Amino acid sequence: MHSLIKFNQRPRVKGERKVSYSQYSMYQKCPKQWELAYIKGLRTFSQSIHTLFGTAFHETLQTYLTVMLEETAKKADELDLNKMLLENMQKEYKNAVEKMGDHFSTKFELSEFYEDGIAILNWVKKNRARYFSPKNDELVGIEVEIYHPVLPENDKVLMLGYLDVVLRDKRTDRVRIIDIKTSTMGWNKYQKADKLKASQLVLYKEYFAKQYGFDVEKIDILYFIVKRKLIEGAMFPQRRVQEFIPASGKPTRNKLVRSIEEWIGTCFDKDGDYNTKRQYPSVAGKNNKNCKYCEFKDQEDLCPKVNRIKG
């Protein structure tokens, strides 16, 4: 780990409350789901082929980038990435089944995702010069930890997150934070317009700068979206990688930080404990969109359908 990162890691302190961006995102969509999942502690561990593949692919690509940037591109290209991806997928599947107590995929589905992963890795290796430069890019860190207080007046609640890849351009001294996303066919215009989806890196940019002492105006952020599938029969060249850079200027960051501070100020007390006196409304959203993947959607005793706010 780069010295700029290593010596600015924040140690854990007993009594601190760790929150995540995914918690904030859940709360923004439906406060009731967040209450049930976290305040009442009713969330359960679940895994899917998509999350399994995402974790395994992350580890594989991160290893490739580490060798390429800290050693040589030649050594990176010599890595058996196919074997590495397979072993990572097998490890993640075994761990998930042990936790869940049941299988959640099939050999056919696992094989399909594995073959898709090989296709992505081969494409990235062939086109790596488009995105990475062993000559100019310095690897600051992989899975760089963000652990930062959300409210200045409350040091008991801290945001915990991890940055997939952090690079520094040796020529300009600019830092680039990269979030690797696995996707079926990339992000469409609606996914790009989803502020909750795109704002995670915006927040991490703000907190990374504060925690590690970087100039926030010299930090760039990028979603590195890899596609499992391409359009069949397309008459134009297709790339396995889609790059997306969300707006992250000062007004955008300030608005996001205020929203997260409001969440913490409303839902936690000064000691970091949950605010159990507050009412947390159920928000189904337009066409019950927020309920689609909610594990409590069919539990009338916990979240009666009649109480759900639509629109």
For 77-99, write each residue's pLDDT tens digit.
999 999 999 999 999 999 999 99
State the alpha helices, DSSP H only, in the chain. 3-6, 21-29, 31-34, 49-70, 73-78, 81-100, 107-126, 189-193, 195-212, 250-267
DSSP class per residue in 284-295: EEGGGGGGTT-T
Residue 12 identity (one-letter amino acid):
R
Tokens 């100020």 correspond to 265
Residue 204: the pLDDT is 97
φ, ψ of residue 253 to 5 degrees: the values are -65, -45
Any idea where the domains of the chain sit in the sequence?
Answer: 45-134
Residue 235: the pLDDT is 84
Residue 294: the pLDDT is 96
CA–CA dist 58, 64 (Å, integer):
10
Residue 152: the pLDDT is 85
CA atoms within 13 A on the CB side of 36: 19
pLDDT at 299 over 80: yes
- The pTM is what? 0.94
pLDDT at 260 over 70: yes
pLDDT at 153 over 90: no
Q: Using CA of residue 219, residue 225, residue 231, residue 234, what is the dihedral sign?
A: positive
